Amino acid sequence: MSFKLRFAPLIAMNIALPAFAQNAPVSIPAQDFGPVWTGFYVGGAFGAGGMVNNLSTSGGGISSSFNGGGGSGVLGSIYGGIDYQILPKAIVGVLAEATLASISGTNSASVPGANASVTSQPNFGWAVLARAGLLANSSTLIYFTGGYAGQNFLTSGTATAGGATSSFSQSNTFNGWTVGPGVEAKLGRNWATKLEYRYSQFGTQNISGISVTPSTHALRAGLTYKFGGFGGAPSEDGPAFNEPAFNWTGFYGGVAAGAGMATGPVTASAGGASATFTGAGQGLLGGVFVGADYQFAPKALVGVMGDFTWSGMQTSTTIAVPGAGAYAAVSPNQIWSVMGRLGYLPIRSTLLYAAAGYTGMNVQATSTAYGGGTALFGQGSTTFSGWTVGPGIETVITGGWTTRLEYRYSQYEQKQITSSAFGGATAGVTAQPSTHTIRLGLAYKFGVGADNKSIAESPE
């Protein structure tokens, strides 16, 4: 039901009453009801993401599983859909999307006289989605989306042994589901921007004797055009609801929860044999953060922030043969960062920002092996340093409380995790991890940061 239909009886009364009274009709300014989100829209998005492939194979008394093989890269999407504002603060909608990605990962191994390499790339994907959201204010939508996802994977490989070479290339379509949160903020009369994260899980297929179960993590920053418009520009619409004149200067603290994946090249060597693969692990995470902002202009601010995160991301490998076997697991369990951020305020209560800075990560590795009546166990902890960068959207809920959705890409140094020598031979594992994470946070700004006056009560 549109606002025009809702107030049609009142408008009719205002037209009829002058025939019976001398009072002028009472006008109902459109800005009292804020932007109307109902309508069709189209848009484009750019982002980044990664994949995690759970691989397993068995035969001839040998079985192995790898959780998982991965890769990362950039992506671009186009989308279109329709929203319906069922309540003043609630929206439902449907949309369709097509995505082209450069995500890829390679696994290779070599021994004297032989080598093999396999590359996997999810290149083209599509999705049909529903979304439901609540308006934190009349210009900012917090939503969840989910639905069907399809993905084409291109897998290719080569092997060389004894002077002979063989190769293959195979294209497979996987079907699955996708789900994730997003925040959309109005920029102007017809335009909005959104930041959206999605996790997609696909079914299992057999590719050249290997059972493959892929999943992807993707972040999209989009620009949307709504036909018919959202209404006037933010400064013209006036406050429909909960658009306080918020003073962003001040200190804040908060908590965050989310998910992510760790990926990167890993090289293992022992004597004359070596293996290189793009490892990947995924899991949930939670953390705390603090920071301070300075609003140096009506629509701009700078700030610093730090956080500490506990992660459940893990990758593992298992192999078993008659009478012997081995297991290895790598887990980035703690992450910390110190960053600066620069932000733009399209309206006073919603902030679009970019953050970048230093990050550190502690990685724990565990391995076991048995054979010939002997069992070995190893465990180690390694700290990696690197840099982190990503966008975010933060909006006021009420008083000094805000909520934020933030994506981070972090790249770490290359480092040797383990090294050993036995019988004149050396063995070691070297890794260079990176992470893709999404965080949904709740923060409270202390003291001067909170201002409950409405925009109408506090001029620019």
Domain layout of the chain by residue ranges: 40-449
Percent helix, strand and coil across the chain, each rounded to 5?
A: 5, 75, 20
Eight-class DSSP state of 454: B
Distance of alpha carbon 408 from alpha carbon 394, whole angstroms: 15
CA separation, residue 366 to residues 193, 199, 318, 331, 459 (Å): 43, 27, 12, 9, 60
Helix (H) or strand (E) holding 4: helix 3-6
Eight-class DSSP state of 190: S
Residues 6+ apart with CB under 8 A from 60: none
Question: Are the CB atoms for 394 and 404 separated by under 8 Å?
Answer: yes
| Closest by CA position to 40, among listed 95, 98, 2 | 95
* 270 C-beta neighbours (distance < 10 Å), count: 14
Distance of alpha carbon 140 from alpha carbon 130, whole angstroms: 18
Eight-class DSSP state of 460: -
What pLDDT score was predicted for residue 224?
96
Q: Is the peptide bond before 68 cis (omega within 30 degrees of 0)?
A: yes
Tokens representing 382 are: 């390694």
Count how many Cα atoms sit within 13 Å of the Cα of residue 111 in the half-sphere of its side chain.
Answer: 2
Distance of alpha carbon 230 from alpha carbon 37, whole angstroms: 6
What pLDDT score was predicted for residue 26?
34
What pLDDT score was predicted for residue 188?
79
Q: Sort residue 433 into left (φ over 0), alpha (ψ -120 to 50) or beta.
A: beta
What pLDDT score was predicted for residue 275?
63
Q: Work out the mean pLDDT of the chain and round it to a whole number.
A: 80
Give, in degrees to the nearest 5, the angle at Cα 368 between 367 and 371. 145
| Closest by CA position to 363, among listed 303, 414, 405 | 414
What pLDDT score was predicted for residue 104?
83
Give the chain's residues under pLDDT 50: 1-34, 232-239, 422, 425, 448-460
